[in-house]
Chain A
């Protein structure tokens, strides 16, 4: 996209997010979820990666995912607008075999939300507000379409997750290169949303440290508080650099290099986004331990996010292998 065009899209998403954010866990209701998803769908973002060449770069998509993560939102930007359309695009480039029956697919993941290593059991449709079907990428690159079932519980109160049928209809198969691109892209987009959440929550806690007074002065003037917020800032910057770079690699480098960069980004985000939210919660103090406060919505998002697609042990093991053996 041209710079101006991207800024316009981003600002539209920002305005949407400000309007439909959940102010607290009590705001999350079936009707508000439906309304929010309808409003997001009207922005027409699912076309960004559907065509070849795509209308938006991966870096632009990553920035939009980051923007979406900044506010507590129930909407499925990742599953239905960014991930499933990209998967269909990558399939078209490979060996697409059959049609997709649903109108609005999201993605399915293994029951533990990770990339499947062998035949996965207990599939779930992930990030499925507004979706009517789910696409699952098997360990070896085969793609199947699954029906949505009953809602599945998740600690992330904002994320829509449902059970998905065990049996799937074949849709096609990703080439090895496309499979690497798919994994890298999914890691980058998910990591970006978590970076947005961590950055926004740290910013909110910095604002709070300026306003909240104890001992007759703002708590942000105490060095113990300052250093905690400084450390959180460093972590958020590290996450930002790693995900932005990984996104750029997908736009500009080989699939193999992009996948390594994406694994690095997700590994950094898995630990640092959670750490940063912890720091922010500590600065908010008692108020952040209540059901009404947004803090736990952010914590739930980054906590579950850190186990989504690839956990830290999954990633560190791969990244510890010598380059020649990978």
Chain B
């Protein structure tokens, strides 16, 4: 696909959708956020407002509460929001996709409309203290009882915003004997179930987005399993590929707004530290390359290519852009370091996690080497 021309332009129906969305936004602006309102609560109100206009789950089939359009339509909405500095569409696309592909018809009909509307708030219980990069090495165990239900014991980590969530997409081992990749199953876990303890974990930037999840003799019904036993691994791989995708350009626009702020700040100053101007120029290059790259992926998708391991390239490019941008921002606004510390400092700390969350940069390189370049499997250390 790299040696024939691609159309980088928006197809006509996307342009129409963009205009419709702009018109709707004009009448439904971003709500005010009271000073004491936690961010996830505010984002949840925004989620419901977007859903009321039909702007959530555009790529989900209509019978499950969506609009039956494509991922590109959803991306267009998120792009438009980003360009206005508004928070994007809630990042539930990958969860919806997992349910669509692995859930039963009954589960899809019951869970998807409530997920899209925000009636149910979801979180993701994948990683564990002992299973980060080596996700398949998880030890949370769902033991099947003769009566048919499961009893789950274990601990999950990095479960974002679990304290504000009602449901968790949980991975647990259902077979201790089978090879790791065939013995993991997925469940819908209601977080108010007896035996579940949620403990927020304070991150380096001071936020309590991440949580620990303790599971002590938690009972799950067979009907709460998604897919068959052993489907958990392919389900997890589907969702992480979606998480790494470059297509979701909503948060890219946020970089663009910051870069223009850096440029203006540098322009207004008489004396600049050595090399700062080229650092800012480099951030602009990283960002615009990312925009071009996302557009290329869109064009490839429209030309019929499906998503695959190349999303690891996308994630590494995103990490490069984000980390370099916030390092530069701290050079332009050094007062962030000796004052109270503002938004830039918080975002800087968050950017340090970019090379860790959603699969570390080393894992992305392994995927590129093995699955894109076809290099031979190495000796196990």
Contacts and interface: CB of A to CB of B under 8 A. Distances in A.
A7 B4 contact: yes
A315 B364 CA distance: 30
Contacts of B278: 312-313, 316-317, 320
A287 B293 CA distance: 34
State the majority secondary structure of interface residues on B.
helix
A325 B267 contact: yes
B52 interface: no
A16 interface: no
Nearest to A270: B285
B285 A264 contact: yes
B378 A322 contact: no
B168 interface: no
B368 A234 contact: yes
Interface residues of B, number: 46
B365 A267 contact: no
B375 A267 contact: no
B342 interface: no
Contacts of B17: none
Interface stretch (A108-116, A130-138, A149-157, A245-253): A245-253
Contacts of A229: 369, 373, 375
Contact of B288 (A59, A231, A248, A264): A264
B280 A320 contact: yes
A210 B375 contact: yes
A217 B377 CA distance: 10
A90 B375 CA distance: 47
Interface stretch (B5-13, B103-111, B143-151): B5-13
Interface string B154-181: 0000000000000000000000000000
B259 to A, nearest CB: 9
B6 A244 contact: yes
Interface in A5-23: 6-7, 10
A177 B370 CA distance: 47
B4 A3 contact: yes
Given A238-B289, A316-B281, A322 B264 contact: yes
Interface string A216-243: 0110111101110111011001101110
Interface in B271-290: 277-278, 280-282, 284-285, 288-289
24 contacts: A3-B5, A6-B5, A63-B3, A67-B3, A206-B375, A210-B375, A217-B376, A223-B378, A230-B366, A231-B316, A233-B368, A238-B317, A242-B288, A245-B296, A249-B8, A264-B285, A264-B292, A265-B289, A267-B282, A312-B278, A315-B281, A316-B281, A317-B281, A320-B281
Interface in B1-57: 2-9
Given A59-B6, A221-B379, 10 more contacts: A209-B375, A217-B378, A226-B375, A230-B364, A237-B293, A237-B310, A241-B295, A244-B296, A245-B296, A317-B278
A268 interface: yes
B335 interface: no
B247 to A, nearest CB: 13
A316 B277 contact: yes
A316 B277 CA distance: 8
A260 B369 CA distance: 33
Contacts of A199: 2
A195 to B, nearest CB: 10
A322 B267 contact: yes
B75 interface: no
A199 B247 CA distance: 23
B113 to A, nearest CB: 37
Contact of A316 (B282, B295, B372, B376): B282
